[in-house]
Amino acid sequence: MHKIKLFVTALFAIGFVACAAQQKTNIATIGKQMNQQDKINAKHAMITVPIGQEAVWVNPKTKTSYTVRPIKQYQKGKTTCRQVMLLANGQQKVSSNICCGPDGKWRIAS
């Protein structure tokens, strides 16, 4: 669990944090593959892509393809949350829940 939180914190360190993944497999692998631009792309996609659509990009240096797919958006009290999926090369999959706090920053869902 500690490695998951470290990856997630590193991935979204710029005012945004996704929650620990339900599927622990491949989190460390995906994190190692991502450069800073990949992390920025993932952050932006998780909070802006409409539900049911996806953002796809390929890292030109590593040739790794990434897909971010918001699955659903829901309310937890007055808080807006999203369930999102991150895929690397179409196979390595991480599912997370993120919520927007009262300060407007997205964080780990509790």
Confidence of residue 108 (pLDDT cuts 50, 70, 90): low
> Mean pLDDT across the stretch 69-85?
92
For residue 24, pLDDT over 80 is answered with no
For residue 62, pLDDT over 50 is answered with yes
Residue 25 buriedness (CB in 10 A; 0-12 / 13-18 / 19+): exposed
Confidence at residue 58, expressed as pLDDT on a 0 to 100 scale: 96
Q: Is the pTM of this model over 0.85?
A: no
Tokens representing residue 21 in the block: 């993944």
Per domain, the residue ranges of the chain are: 2-108
Confidence of residue 8 (pLDDT cuts 50, 70, 90): very low
> Mean pLDDT across the stretch 75-97?
88
Residue 80 buriedness (CB in 10 A; 0-12 / 13-18 / 19+): middle
Confidence of residue 109 (pLDDT cuts 50, 70, 90): confident
Confidence at residue 47, expressed as pLDDT on a 0 to 100 scale: 92
